[in-house]
Amino acid sequence: MDVAMFAQALPLSVSLIGLAGLIRAGEDWAIRKEYGADGVMSGDIVLLQQPGRPGSVWTALRPLLRSDRVLSFCVVGRLASGAALTVTPWGADHLVGPLLFFNLALLMFSLLRCGYGADGADQMLIIVCTGALLAQSGIPAVRSAGLWFVTGQLVLSFVVAGMAKLSGEEWRSGKAICGILSTERYGMPALAGVLTRHGSLSRLLGWGVIVFEASFFMVLFGVEPLTLAYLGAGLAFHAGVAATMGLNNFLLSFAPAYPMAAICLVS
């Protein structure tokens, strides 16, 4: 492992984790009324998902999950820790570990409290935060475990997604891309129209996504130019998804994984 690269890449990942958490918490703050007693995501509605059993952890957490004050503290805490994490790696690195732990605890509570409104981006943010926290350890084995945990998740996320698309006729035919881009919320109707009129281009894009995702495991082969190409293409892929589908959280949550993966995979 290149010590110099580690010193530069890990702080970058931590800053990106902070930025992602800050923006995600800001979104929750903007819709905080929806989490209130009269909102569609109130604590009482969340608790309907898990009635709980006497003595269970869920039952013990019920008062916290119902409390508006606890939720407000959680959101404000995520805003503060996210903002702090964007800058502390570059001047106060001794605070990174405690801030990551605090941020991780609040992220996990938020996923539990607002789980039905969460998605894979929230889960990935927890994963990269956990990996970065472990990577702060002075114990080489623990540090490596944290980095490889994130790297493994990044590789699996691509390969599993690619294999799932390969099994779907809609993706193999190119119809899936047209369908996604045709939606009002997640699409670009103008681009969808172009792809609909040019079916061969749509199929080419569909198969391009499938092959790229399913073959992402090739970063593990130890061929540095190939690994860098895949990592760069992966980051560009997330940026493209954010631009075309508006899924900005996926770009923000996955971006911190790439510097950590580079530490593991690039000599």
Question: In the predicted model, what is the mean pLDDT of residues 133-158?
Answer: 95
Which has the minimum average pLDDT: 106-120, 165-179, 227-241?
Answer: 106-120
* Alpha helices per DSSP H over the chain: 3-30, 43-47, 57-66, 68-87, 96-113, 120-135, 140-166, 169-173, 175-182, 189-197, 199-214, 224-245, 248-254, 257-265
pTM of the model: 0.86
**Stronger pLDDT, 44 or 151, i.e. the higher one:** 151
Asked if residue 104 has pLDDT above 90, the reply is yes
> What's the CA gap between 17 and 125, in Å, rounded?
7
Residue pair 237/229 in contact (Cβ under 8 Å)? The answer is no
Alpha-carbon separation of residue 52 from 48, 115, 212, 228 (angstroms): 9, 16, 43, 47
Structural tokens at position 183: 């939606």
pLDDT in tens, 107-132: 988 887 775 556 778 889 999 999 99
Residue pair 23/252 in contact (Cβ under 8 Å)? The answer is yes
Domain-by-domain residue ranges, the chain? 1-118, 149-267
Residue pair 166/210 in contact (Cβ under 8 Å)? The answer is yes
pLDDT in tens, 19-36: 999 998 998 888 877 777
Question: In the predicted model, what is the mean pLDDT of residues 147-174?
Answer: 94
Q: Using CA of residue 35, residue 40, residue 45, residue 50, what is the dihedral sign?
A: negative
**Stronger pLDDT, 16 or 37, i.e. the higher one:** 16
pLDDT for 180 equals 81
pLDDT for 191 equals 77
Structural tokens at position 39: 């909102």
